[in-house]
């Protein structure tokens, strides 16, 4: 057996009220792809932050050996210098800067005190070849899609001669082909000697790519499995992660299909003056009472824009077309009006425009419907605590208290807070934009169960998702969007991945 | 949980707030010793309150402006200009005081709303929009005082705002040398406070919510009473509560209530915490911008009148640098420019800290140049402490 490149021994990390890591030991062998899986809040990101020095030496207990040396990283700079590159889910690129500037940001190639642009570009081209990214190095990063930006991040890591690459949920925001591309790249880098640690909630991709898999649960490492002797499959992973087996991740719904149309959009066009682009073309759709309607398509097809244009149009698109709720024409000039009319929109980007991270769980849950706890304009603090407790309990939100800042919750629990916030407005129509992004199987199952309960109670749900399996598993009907147009309407019974993809690329 | 342990957790959780009170206490103790007790004398404290009033009300408004991620540089000269306007209304137009005050406040609101239009509607950065306001109101102030220079205000009622004290109870011979109404108000305040604390605790317990342990609760309440008592006692030893103090306390209480207990406060902090999320939660960011700048304008008007009344005149340089003092007070009081963080009570304490420094150093006869340097150092120290304690909690 080869010497491990990384060994973390007995790591314990506590936050006020939370023991995020409890005596975790973690060993990574050289030139392997080592996956790290576990439920939301299991401590995966925290373990990697301990490794990279985000949580500096001294703020945790335990020892880190990297390349056979005991390390005491006091900042990310130290770990970078040692050859560890961490790519977080929130990309750390400067959008206004060009690709080559980003790649060499922080360790510019200089001639004297001037940056040697020609040399930088030359080296960038070489590195971009390695990551198989075919763009002009002088393109501003903001003009690239998220998949390509991800590759720029990796290029950045390679430019620093990273020996160990850590990727925290790199594929959660990528579509299938970008994901595949990224995974292929990791394999290739492995051949060239780079070791990777990959955190992911997509178990299929874990199974496809891993040499080893470590499962964390409640801050403890449960098991490390070798992927090459057949002991890794989805059920085994789920069982280790959740502690129990989940038979069917898409729970059965007693289908009460209704034909009553509750929401309808006709000849809907939207133009975005900021991007000077027509983003929606002649969209027609209808939503029936008690159904889960899927909207899918490739990234950038205009699904989120569609949702925003319906939900009070906060980005000020120029819109024409008709919207009807319960047969009555409606017009919203602000999300406030949409909420009043019974709509709710759980955003795709929960950190960016979903939650107020610096505020606590309870204020986030009540913010969209303060009316419920107001008496003469004054907030009834006790009623608020009571309601917030009720919602955190019923959604199973894991938090030390409802006074915890949302910032400190794990991704899945943040997503549940978003959901709680919108359930708190008791909407009739709920738009869920990528509701399972970055959340674990257990939580997915719970969210699906909640969705089923809601539609059985008569709510109608529009579920926007790029994950075809969950679109096929959860919806009654599907609209496929491509380039701002609806290219297909399918009954889920007749749909499969191939058909959907055909419409999506039309 | 043992008493001591609970005390430590409480301290840790509220280190930022308590730190500020401790700092204020240390500063006051230092000046008291350094001036042989003159600093803490009833007369001086009373004076200090009057001196800080016009900055304190600005700092309170500024807190909200900074909370929603903006800044208002125009408040100083706006205050100066509106003070001059009040003076003109009283002297040249011969309007009665009770009409002038609301009128000037309304002008203030209007000025704030104009700034808000340029910011919320046209998307001009508040720094630039209010810098323009700074220039414009400076010009307006000069123009208003052009003919006469300083405008003397010969109106006793108006001048009482900045110099007068609340009347005393007509009880001859009872507790001579103290201001009885002030004492009475202090006692009433303490009683109300205790009652409301006990009631809220009871209610919380009925809901089975977490509360402080009984001992801790008693200690905390007694401590608050002592503090309130001390302030009352000191003030009652001189002329009692000044009108300025009454105004500042009322503004603080109202704003504290609005920001912590009402939907409006929630909306303001939501917009400051994450404007996109607030917008999507049905909160109109531009409406909140109007409200916050409107309130800032109104408080500028109040500040201007407090200052004019204190000087019993409107001068050509009135309001100069107030905006910077107000911003400094707000930062000392713990607001964060990242938005969404900051309390009005903190800013009041911030204003008291900054004014104590000026007042104390004046008493010690310290040169003005040194004073600026010390105040700058305290400002930096406060913000460093703020950032550090925030990090530690993360
Ligand atoms: N800075 C922090 N302060 C307080 N608690 C924290 C902090 N960071 C993480 N935690 C807590 O530590 C636990 C582990 O969180 P971590 O982010 O490591 O989970 P994760 O496994 O990465 O989950 P996810 O899959 O949702 O990203 C959670 O309970 C989380 O709330
Ligand atoms: Mg994570």
Max mean pLDDT range (A134-143, A457-466, B35-44, B73-82): B73-82
Gap from B270 CA to chain A (nearest CA, Å): 7
Residue pair A145/A134 in contact by the 8 Å Cβ criterion: no
pLDDT 10s digits, A64-95: 999 989 999 998 889 988 999 998 877 778 88
Tell me whether residue A176 is exposed, middle or buried, using C-beta atoms within 10 angstroms of its C-beta: 0 to 12, 13 to 18, 19 or more: middle
Percent of chain A with pLDDT strictly greater than 70 = 99
Instruction: Decide if pLDDT at A16 tops 70.
Output: yes
Residue pair A289/A476 in contact by the 8 Å Cβ criterion: no
The residue-averaged pLDDT of A172-178 equals 79
Closest by alpha carbon to B179, among B97, B235, B112?
B235
Instruction: Decide if pLDDT at B172 tops 90.
Output: no
pLDDT at residue B391 in the model: 67
Which has the higher per-residue pLDDT, A241 or A174?
A241
pLDDT at residue A76 in the model: 87
The residue-averaged pLDDT of A162-171 equals 90
Q: Which among B262, B269, B282 has the least Cβ separation from residue A339?
A: B282
Which has the higher per-residue pLDDT, A133 or B10?
A133
pLDDT 10s digits, B157-170: 999 999 999 988 88
Report the chain B residue with the minimal C-alpha distance to residue A421. B281
End-to-end CA distance of chain A: 51
As a 3-state breakdown, chain B gives helix, strand, coil percent values, each rounded to 5, of 75, 0, 25
How many Cβ pairs closer than 8 A exist between chain A and B? 83
The stretches of A160-233 forming alpha helices (DSSP H) are 176-191, 203-209
The residue-averaged pLDDT of A267-281 equals 90
Can you tell me the distance from the alpha carbon of A122 to that of B140, in angstroms, rounded to the nearest whole number? 60
Question: Can you tell me whether residue B340 is helix, strand or coil?
Answer: coil
Handedness of CA A106, A108, A114, A115 (dihedral sign): negative
Gap from B322 CA to chain A (nearest CA, Å): 30
> How does the average pLDDT of chain A come out, rounded?
90
Cβ separation of A368 and B282 shorter than 8 Å?
Answer: yes
Indicate the pLDDT class of residue B1, thresholds 50, 70 and 90.
Answer: low
pLDDT at residue A296 in the model: 93
Which has the higher per-residue pLDDT, A115 or A224?
A224
Instruction: Decide if pLDDT at B117 tops 90.
Output: yes
Total residues belonging to chain A:
506
Cβ separation of B284 and A355 shorter than 8 Å?
Answer: no
Report the chain B residue with the minimal C-alpha distance to residue A404. B394
pLDDT at residue B392 in the model: 56
Q: Is A44 in the pocket of ligand 1 (CB under 6 A)?
A: yes
Instruction: Decide if pLDDT at A443 tops 90.
Output: no
pLDDT at residue B244 in the model: 94
Number of H helices, E strands in chain B: 16, 2
How many CA atoms lie less than 13 Å away from A262 in the CB half-sphere?
Answer: 22
Q: Is A43 in the pocket of ligand 1 (CB under 6 A)?
A: yes
Residue A357: both structure tokens together: 């991270």
Task: Give yes or no for B196 touching A (CB within 8 A).
Answer: no
pLDDT at residue B394 in the model: 44
pLDDT at residue B173 in the model: 75
How many CA atoms lie less than 13 Å away from A346 in the CB half-sphere?
Answer: 31
pLDDT at residue A36 in the model: 95
Phi, psi of A487 (to 5 degrees): -100, -10
Indicate the pLDDT class of residue A505, thresholds 50, 70 and 90.
Answer: confident
Cβ separation of B279 and A16 shorter than 8 Å?
Answer: no
The residue-averaged pLDDT of B221-245 equals 88
Q: Which among B263, B276, B340 has the least Cβ separation from residue A374?
A: B263
Can you tell me the distance from the alpha carbon of B130 to that of B152, in angstroms, rounded to the nearest whole number? 29
The residue-averaged pLDDT of A193-215 equals 92
pLDDT 10s digits, A362-388: 999 999 999 999 988 899 988 999 999
The alpha-carbon radius of gyration of chain A (Å, integer) is 24
pLDDT at residue A1 in the model: 53
Query: What residue segments make up the domains of chain B, in order of their start?
Result: 50-164+242-328+339-345
pLDDT at residue B356 in the model: 94
Q: The complex's ipTM?
A: 0.85
> Which pairs from A483-490 meet CB under 8 Å and 24+ separation?
A483/A281, A483/A301, A483/A302, A484/A278, A484/A279, A484/A280, A484/A281, A484/A283, A484/A301, A484/A302, A484/A305, A485/A280, A485/A281, A485/A282, A485/A283, A486/A283, A486/A284, A486/A285
Residue B240: both structure tokens together: 């009692």
Distance A69 CA to ligand 2 centre (A): 27
Can you tell me the distance from the alpha carbon of A168 to that of A159, in angstroms, rounded to the nearest whole number? 19
Report the chain A residue with the minimal C-alpha distance to residue B336. A358
pLDDT at residue B88 in the model: 95
Closest by alpha carbon to B303, among B47, B46, B66, B57?
B57
Shortest-distance ligand to the CA of residue A168: 2
Instruction: Give the global pTM.
Output: 0.88
Which chain B residues are Cβ-neighbours of A334 within 8 angstroms?
Answer: 282, 284
Closest by alpha carbon to A37, among A234, A309, A321?
A234
Can you tell me the distance from the alpha carbon of A279 to that of A272, in angstroms, rounded to the nearest whole number? 6
> Residue A201 CA: which ligand 1 atom is closest?
25
Gap from A284 CA to chain B (nearest CA, Å): 24
Shortest-distance ligand to the CA of residue A51: 1
Instruction: Decide if pLDDT at B310 tops 90.
Output: yes
pLDDT at residue A175 in the model: 77
């Amino acid at each position: 057996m080869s010497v491990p490149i990384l060994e973390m021994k007995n790591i314990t990390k506590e936050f006020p009220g939370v023991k995020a890591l409890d005596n975790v030991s973690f060993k990574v062998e050289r030139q392997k792809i080592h996956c790290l899986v576990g439920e939301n809040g299991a401590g995966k990101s925290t373990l990697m932050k301990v490794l990279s020095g985000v949580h500096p030496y001294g703020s945790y207990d335990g020892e880190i050996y990297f390349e056979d040396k005991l390390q005491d990283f006091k900042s990310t700079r130290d770990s970078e210098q040692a050859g560890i590159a961490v790519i977080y889910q929130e990309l750390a690129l400067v959008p206004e800067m060009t690709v080559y500037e980003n790649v060499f940001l922080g360790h510019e190639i200089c001639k004297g005190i001037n940056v040697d642009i020609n040399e930088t570009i030359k080296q960038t081209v070489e590195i971009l070849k390695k990551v198989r990214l075919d763009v002009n190095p002088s393109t501003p990063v903001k003009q690239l899609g998220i998949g390509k930006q991800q590759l720029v991040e990796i290029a950045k890591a390679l430019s620093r001669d990273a020996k160990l690459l850590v990727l925290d949920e790199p594929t959660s925001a990528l579509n299938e082909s970008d994901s595949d591309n990224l995974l292929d790249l990791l394999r290739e880098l492995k051949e060239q000697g780079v070791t990777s640690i990959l955190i992911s909630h997509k178990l299929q991709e874990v199974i496809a790519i891993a040499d080893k898999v470590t499962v964390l649960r409640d801050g403890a490492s449960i098991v490390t499995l070798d992927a090459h002797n057949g002991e890794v499959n989805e059920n085994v992973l789920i069982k280790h992660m959740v502690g129990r087996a989940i038979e069917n991740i898409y729970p059965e719904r007693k289908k009460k299909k209704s034909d009553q149309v509750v929401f309808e959009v006709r000849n809907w066009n939207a133009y975005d003056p900021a991007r000077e682009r027509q983003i929606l073309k002649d969209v027609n759709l209808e939503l029936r009472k008690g159904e889960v309607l899927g909207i899918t398509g490739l990234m950038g097809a205009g699904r989120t824009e569609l949702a925003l244009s319906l939900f009070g149009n906060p980005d000020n698109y120029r819109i024409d077309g008709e919207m009807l709720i319960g047969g009555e024409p409606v017009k919203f000039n602000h999300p406030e009006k949409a909420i009043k009319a019974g709509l709710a929109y759980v955003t795709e980007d929960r950190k960016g425009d979903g939650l107020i991270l610096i505020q606590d769980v309870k204020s986030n849950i009540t913010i969209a419907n303060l009316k419920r706890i107001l008496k003469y304009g004054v907030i009834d603090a006790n009623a608020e605590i009571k309601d917030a407790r009720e919602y955190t309990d019923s959604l199973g939100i894991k938090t030390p208290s409802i006074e915890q800042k949302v910032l400190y919750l794990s991704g899945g629990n943040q997503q549940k807070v978003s959901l709680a916030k919108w359930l708190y407005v008791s909407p009739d129509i709920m738009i869920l934009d990528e509701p399972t992004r970055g959340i674990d199987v257990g939580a997915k199952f719970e969210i699906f169960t909640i969705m089923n309960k809601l539609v059985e109670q008569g709510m109608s749900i529009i579920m926007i998702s790029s994950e075809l399996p969950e679109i096929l598993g959860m919806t009654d009907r599907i609209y496929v969007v491509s380039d701002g147009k609806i290219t297909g309407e399918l009954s889920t019974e007749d749909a499969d991945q191939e058909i959907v993809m055909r419409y999506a690329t039309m | 949980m043992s008493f001591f342990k609970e005390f430590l957790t409480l301290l840790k959780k509220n280190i930022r707030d308590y730190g500020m009170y401790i700092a204020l206490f240390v500063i006051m103790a230092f000046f008291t010793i350094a001036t042989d007790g003159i600093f803490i004398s009833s007369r001086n404290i009373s004076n200090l309150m009057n001196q800080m009033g016009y900055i304190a009300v600005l700092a309170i408004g500024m807190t909200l402006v900074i909370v929603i991620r903006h800044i208002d540089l125009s408040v100083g000269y706006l205050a100066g200009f509106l003070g001059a306007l009040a003076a003109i209304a009283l002297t040249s137009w011969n309007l009665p005081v009770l009409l002038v005050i609301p009128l000037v406040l309304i002008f203030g609101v209007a000025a704030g709303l104009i700034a808000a239009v340029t910011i919320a509607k046209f998307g001009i950065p508040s720094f630039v929009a209010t810098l323009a306001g700074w220039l414009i109101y400076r010009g307006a102030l000069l123009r208003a005082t052009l003919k006469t220079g300083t405008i003397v205000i010969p109106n006793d009622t108006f001048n009482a705002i900045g110099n007068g004290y609340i009347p005393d109870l007509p009880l001859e011979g009872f507790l001579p040398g103290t201001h009885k109404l002030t004492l009475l108000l202090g006692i009433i305040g303490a009683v109300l406070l205790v009652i409301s604390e006990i009631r809220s605790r009871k209610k919380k317990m009925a809901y089975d919510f977490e509360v402080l342990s009984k001992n801790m609760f008693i200690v905390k309440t007694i401590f608050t009473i002592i503090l309130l008592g001390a302030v009352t006692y000191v003030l009652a030893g001189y002329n009692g509560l000044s009108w300025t103090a009454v105004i500042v306390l009322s503004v603080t209480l109202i704003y504290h209530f609005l920001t912590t207990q009402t939907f409006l406060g929630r909306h303001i902090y939501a917009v400051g915490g994450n404007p996109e999320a607030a917008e999507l939660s049905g909160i109109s960011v531009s409406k909140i911008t109007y409200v916050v700048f409107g309130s800032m304008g109104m408080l500028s008007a109040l500040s201007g009148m407090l200052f004019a009344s204190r000087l019993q005149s409107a001068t050509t340089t009135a309001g100069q640098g107030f905006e910077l003092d107000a911003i400094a007070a707000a930062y000392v009081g713990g607001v964060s420019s990242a938005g969404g963080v900051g309390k009005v009570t903190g800013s009041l304490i911030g204003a008291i800290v900054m004014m104590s420094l000026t007042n104390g150093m004046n008493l010690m006869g310290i040169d003005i140049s040194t004073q600026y340097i010390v105040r700058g150092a305290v400002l930096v120290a406060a913000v460093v402490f703020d950032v550090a304690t925030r990090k530690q909690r993360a």
